[in-house]
Amino acid sequence: MKLSTKGRYAVMAMVDLATHSKGQPVALADIAERQEISLSYLEQLFAKLRRGGLVRSVRGPGGGYLPAHPIAETRVADIILAVDEPIHATRCAPGSPSGCRQNRSRCLTHDLWEELGNQIHLYLSSVTIADVIARRILGTSQVIVHEPEAPLAAQAAG
């Protein structure tokens, strides 16, 4: 599963906003420059974030955007959902009793992918913007390496 640029850029922009606002509005042009994101794309994302109640806008000279809530209360999952980014790993509609196969049945791996989507949502709901800024991300992302198993004949001989 891959998170689209819409969700990733929204989170990047919110982290930038929280880092640079210090109680003062931040111009989208400044975020765009620091994060190397198109200004017009950021304008679209921030319109959705504003409608989602995650940022508030300040008009006029020196205007820009401010976080609408304390960053310790702003969850990554809320940002992604505000920009209409679905968090699921199946081809089926979330919560739908029918599957995505032609005969409307579910494939054998449906529950696996649905639970993966649930776990992604739970994880992103547990991480706040403050956690990202402070680099307090829960869990580890170390790669697990499995040694190849010895052939059965070699195991039996040993």
> Is pLDDT above 50 for 91?
yes
Tokens 């003062």: give the residue.
24
Helix (H, G, I), strand (E, B) or coil at 107: coil
DSSP 128: B
pLDDT of res. 145:
47
Q: What angle do CA 5, 119, 145 make, to 5 degrees?
A: 85
Q: By C-alpha distance, which of 25, 24, 41 is closest to 12?
A: 41
The gap from C-alpha 28 to its chain's centroid, in whole angstroms, comes to: 20
Share of residues in the chain with pLDDT > 70 (%): 72
The sign one gets for the Cα dihedral 78, 83, 89, 92 is positive
pLDDT of res. 110:
78
Phi-psi category of residue 35: left, alpha or beta, with phi > 0 → left and psi -120 to 50 → alpha:
alpha
pLDDT of res. 102:
66
pTM (predicted TM-score)? 0.77
H or E element at residue 29:
helix 28-35
Instruction: Please name the amino acid found at residue 98.
Output: S
**In the chain, what are the domain boundaries?**
1-85+128-158, 87-127
> Is pLDDT above 90 for 65?
yes
Helix (H, G, I), strand (E, B) or coil at 56: strand
> Is pLDDT above 70 for 155?
no
Number of helices followed by number of strands (H, E) in the chain: 7, 2
* CATH fold of the domain at 1-85+128-158: Arc Repressor Mutant, subunit A (1.10.10)
pLDDT of res. 144:
47
Comparing 100 with 117, which gets the higher pLDDT?
Answer: 117
